[in-house]
Structure 1
Amino acid sequence: MLQARNIHKRYGDVEVLKGVDIDISTGEIVSIVGSSGAGKSTLLHILGTLDKPDQGSINMNNTAVTSLNGRQLAAFRNQYIGFVFQFHHLLPEFTALENVCVPGWIAKRPKDQVEERAVRLLNTLGLSHRIDNKPQAMSGGEQQRVAVARALINEPRIVFADEPTGNLDSINARDLHELFFRLRAEFNQTFLIVTHNEELAKMSDRLLHMKDGKMVNGD
């Protein structure tokens, strides 16, 4: 489903990624751990097409992602990839429903279909009572679940999560962990997660370790 080979990335004189290979299968939940500066988030952003490698290839959903141009890449990202970040990046002037709908609107999907799926996702995530609320009226855990629903609105093949529990307390973090596995069970959703949370990492199907810009081992 996702294959990356010999991924290199340099910023100025600093070589951040030094030839990383990774394979992710459909329905897997894979976590990447490592100390700060190991290159985890850089790798996630490159795999998620938010940044480009200096060298190497990425193949996702039978598409050579690294050969796509800007407009093609944006369309591919919108259709096949979802993102969850440490900070929710919800639009403060929009309701929960509207925030979830945004990627569907960008994809120019029928408005009623987008809203119907958004309502269904918010219900699935236990947020039916927050549909018309704006972010400031929600807890941190609720905002992160809205962000997860937004990541799923276009039925992506894979969700990239960058420290998704980093801004949550232990109870909300545990709830989010369980949510990822429920979404995998219900939708066969694939997740690649960068995390410092040992509990989440150990629950994953595979645990990959990065050090100094390289994969050092995996479970």
Structure 2
Amino acid sequence: MLKARNIKKRYDQLEVLKGVDIEISQGEIVSIIGSSGAGKSTFLHILGTLDVADEGQIWLNNERIDELKGRKLAAYRNAHMGFVFQFHHLLPEFSALENVSVPGWIAGGKKKDIMERAAHLLDLLGLGNRIDNKPQQLSGGEQQRVAVARALINQPDIVFADEPTGNLDSANARELHELFVQLRNQFKQTFLIVTHNEELAAMSDRTLHMRDGKII
């Protein structure tokens, strides 16, 4: 479903990625672990088209996506990919419902339909009674669940998660791990996760180890 070949990336004299390959099937949860500076986040950002490789090719559902540019790339990313980061990046002036709805509105969906789906996702994620709350009225774990719902609103082919539990306590981290598994089991949702959390990695279908810009 997602495939990348020979991904290389250099920043000035620093060679961050040294020809990395990966292949992920639909409905699979794959975690990448490794020490800081190993290239994990850079690799994830390139696969998610948030950064550009110096060399290599990326396919999603047999479509070559590393060649997409500009508005076409932005529209493709919004429609086919979801993102969850360590910090939730919620808009403070928007309610939980509105924050989840934003990618759907950007995609041009009907406002009523998008908000109904957003409410359904928030309810599914245990936040049905919090849809009108703004981020500052939510706990850290609740904010991250809003971010997960936002990542799912356009029914993406894959969700990229970069240290999604890095800002959570152990109890909330465990709940988020279990949520990813639930979403995979219920919706066949595909996840690629970069994490230092070995407990999360252990719950994945596959764990890849990255060291010095290579998967080992």
Please classify the TM superposition score into its range, dividing by the shorter chain length.
over 0.9
Q: For residue 125 of structure 2, what is the amino acid of its counterpart?
A: L
Q: Which runs of 4+ in 1 moved over 3 A?
A: none
> What residue in structure 2 maps to residue 144 of structure 1?
144
1:39 maps to which residue? 39
Equivalent residue number for residue 177 of structure 1: 177
Question: Which residue does the alignment assign to 2:30?
Answer: 30
CA distance in 2, matches of 1:193, 1:204: 9
Q: How does 1:53-132 map to 2 (within 5 A)?
A: 53-132=53-132
- How big is the alpha-carbon RMSD for the aligned residues of Structure 1 and Structure 2? 0.5
Q: Structure 1: where are the runs of 5+ without partners? A: none
Q: Can you list the C-alpha shifts for 1:129-176, whole angstroms capped at 9, x where unaligned?
A: 110000000000000000000000000000000000000000000000
Structure 1 residue identity aligned to 2:145: R
Query: Which residue identity lines up with residue 164 of structure 1 in the other structure?
Result: P
Count of residues in Structure 1 that have an aligned counterpart in Structure 2: 216
Cα distance between partner residues in 2 of 1:5 and 1:32: 16
Please list, as runs of the form range in 1=range in 2, the aligned pairs for 1:189-204 lying within 5 A after superposition. Answer: 189-204=189-204
What is the CA distance between 1:66 and its match in structure 2?
Answer: 1.2
Shift of 1:96: 0.1
**Distance apart, 1:71 and its partner CA:** 1.3
Matched residue type, 1:7: I
Kindly, what percent of the aligned residue pairs are identical?
Answer: 74
How far apart in 1 are the matches of 2:113 and 2:191? 24
Q: Distance in 2 between matches of 1:99 and 1:79?
A: 16
Q: Secondary structure at the match of 1:209?
A: strand
Distance 2:61 2:107 in 1: 18
User: Given residue 197 of structure 2, which amino acid in structure 1 is its aligned partner?
Assistant: N
Give the deviation of 1:185 after TM superposition: 1.0
Q: Match for residue 205 of structure 1?
A: 205
CA distance in 1, matches of 2:201, 2:182: 16
State the TM-score, normalizing by the size of structure 2: 0.99
> What is the one-letter code of the residue matched to 2:33?
V
